Amino acid sequence: MANITMIGTGYVGLVSGACLADFGHDVTCVDIDKNRIAALRRGEIPIYEPGLKDVVVKNVEGERLQFTTDLAPAVRGAEVVFIAVGTPPQEDGGTDLSFVFAAARDIAKHLEGYTVVVQKSTAPVGTAREIGHVIAAEKPKNAECDIVANPEFLREGSAVGDFMRPDRVIVGAETERARQLMKQVYRPLYLLETPIVWTSLESAEMIKYASNSYLAAKISFINEMAHICELLGANVDDVASGMGLDGRIGKKFLHAGIGYGGSCLPKDVASLIHVARERGYDAPVISAAHAVNRDLPGRAIEKLMRTTGELNAKTIALLGLAFKPNTDDLREAPALRVVHELLKAGARVKVFDPVAMDNFRKQVKAPVEYAKNAYDAANGADAVVLVTEWNEFRELDFDRLKAVMRGKVFIDCRNVYSPARVEGEGFVYDSFGRGKPR
């Protein structure tokens, strides 16, 4: 058992803190957001993440997990302090590290004895070492500290399972003492024979960026194939199935559609391009992946215009706002661009998302109409656009849709349905990469 402090209670900090408590550690989660900590203390979970509430409640009741805004005692009592604050993107693709360094300075002042400070936020290569310099300059003279880089790979929507049963754990640690403590932190995963990869600080940080860039490139690759399939009359879903059976390629991340979003892939790819360019290298593969992805919401609008005509004064129903199912996160969600373009074109926009509408209301403040369910959104619509493949949109009642809609266009941005099925229901249907033989 170790005494752990987690700085930041967002998607990563809260899930990591709760799961580490579940591993048997004593965990204190710290946030500067007073409302968030007050909510957590009342037993309310400020984000939508399946299964998280149960883990939090169980470990609070077991007295292994607590929440505070008071960083000083939390750091003083800790053997391991994780930094899991946000690293948002800047306009130029660079990374805003102000939260990370503010946290590092706060931690430094309160260190006592020996502490391992773990950089878990995704930050450009070199950040962990820089945190080490900042802490060395600002810590009390008699305090000792080692820095570790331990990037996080959990996915929103399945974060608890991902943290508890990861494919691998990456630990950049450069002293034996730090390695021993990190082994203790991840001991339950050791017992499950999870591969733990020990590296330098820089390699650990780079593994995170390289992994996300690879995934982004794989998605953009299949989306480029989808575009070519449309031009040549092939079906990208069949192409992906055939490709995916090749053991060197694999089936995952070969799903064509409106592209990736979220708080990680777009930002991390942009950041890696940015740091490479700062050093005079254009990173052509990931730059192209980024560019292909950026164009995809525009392609959805083109499909809509091809099937619906001019969008001015048309009513468009959007099913799904979150960047993917099972999360309320809207960061870089393709729906944001789609809504923006529709409103710019003069369309009336009705939206429905099972969990992300509150965040949309607060964060986007766009003049859209919020519906009670998919059919309420479709009521009076000229076209329905399925943007996020929530389960409840996978089995829509097309008779009911037809009965309430004004038009009969259905744009499926996630290739959820087969064209024959929806066309058979009397709709004008379009999706991504399912060209028709000519």
> Any contact of residue 11 with ligand NAD (CB under 6 A)?
yes
Residue nearest to ligand NAD (CB): 10
DSSP summary character for residue 93: S
CB of 327 to ligand NAD, least distance (A): 8
Instruction: Tell me the three state secondary structure of residue 141.
Output: coil
The CA-atom distances, in angstroms, between 77 and each of 65, 99, 105, 205 are 14, 22, 17, 27
Q: How many residues bind ligand NAD (CB under 6 A)?
A: 27
Residue 356 as a binder of ligand NAD (CB under 6 A): the answer is no
Question: Among all chains, which residue has been given the structure tokens 């570790």?
Answer: 148
* CA 43 vs CA 7, 23, 29, 355: distances in Å: 19, 20, 14, 19
CA distance to 82, 124, 373, per residue, from 178 (Å): 13, 21, 51
Q: Does 9 bind ligand NAD (CB under 6 A)?
A: yes
Q: How many CB atoms lie within 10 A of CB 105?
A: 15
397: left (phi over 0), alpha (psi -120 to 50) or beta: beta
Q: Is the dihedral of CA 86, 92, 94, 98 positive or negative?
A: negative
Tell me the C-alpha distance between 212 and 260, whole Å.
Answer: 11
Return the number of the residue (159 or 349) whose C-beta is nearest ligand NAD.
159
Contact pick of 2, 7, 21, 316 for ligand NAD (by CB under 6 A): 7
Contact present, 307 and 430 (Cβ < 8 Å): yes
Q: How far is the CB of 374 from ligand NAD (least distance, A)?
A: 26
| Pairing, β 144-149 against β 169-173 | antiparallel
Task: Provide the annotated active-site residues.
Answer: 264
Binding mask 188-217 for ligand NAD (x = CB under 6 A): ------------------------------
Q: Least Å distance between CB 30 and ligand NAD?
A: 5
- Report the residue from 18, 19, 36, 326 that binds ligand NAD according to the rule CB under 6 A: 36
Q: In the chain, what's the furthest Cα-to-Cα distance?
A: 77
Stretch that binds ligand NAD, among 30-38, 108-116, 300-308, 410-418 (CB under 6 A): 30-38
Residues 247-266 that bind ligand NAD (CB under 6 A): 263-264
Q: Choose the stretch contacting ligand NAD; rule: CB under 6 A; options: 8-16, 273-281, 353-361, 417-425.
A: 8-16
- Does residue 124 bind ligand NAD (CB under 6 A)? no
Residue 130 binds to ligand NAD (criterion: CB under 6 A)? no
CB neighbours (10 Å) of residue 140? 10
Based on the shown chain and the rule CB under 6 A, indicate whether residue 154 belongs to the binding site for ligand NAD.
yes
* 422 counts as binding ligand NAD under rule CB under 6 A: no
Q: Please, which residue, 81 or 234, has the CB nearer to ligand NAD?
A: 81
User: How far is Cα 328 from Cα 197, in angstroms, rounded to an integer?
Assistant: 32
Identify which of residues 263 and 379 has a Cβ nearer to ligand NAD in the complex: 263
- Between CA 219 and CA 230, with CA 224 as vertex, the angle to 5 degrees is 125
Q: Decide: is 172 part of the binding site for ligand NAD (CB under 6 A).
A: no
CA distance 124 to 102: 16
Query: Which one among 50, 51, 77, 86 touches ligand NAD, defined by CB under 6 A?
Result: 86
Least separation in angstroms between CB 143 and ligand NAD: 19
Q: Which positions touch ligand NAD (CB under 6 A)?
A: 7-13, 30-33, 36, 84-87, 99, 102-103, 106, 121-122, 152, 154, 156, 263-264
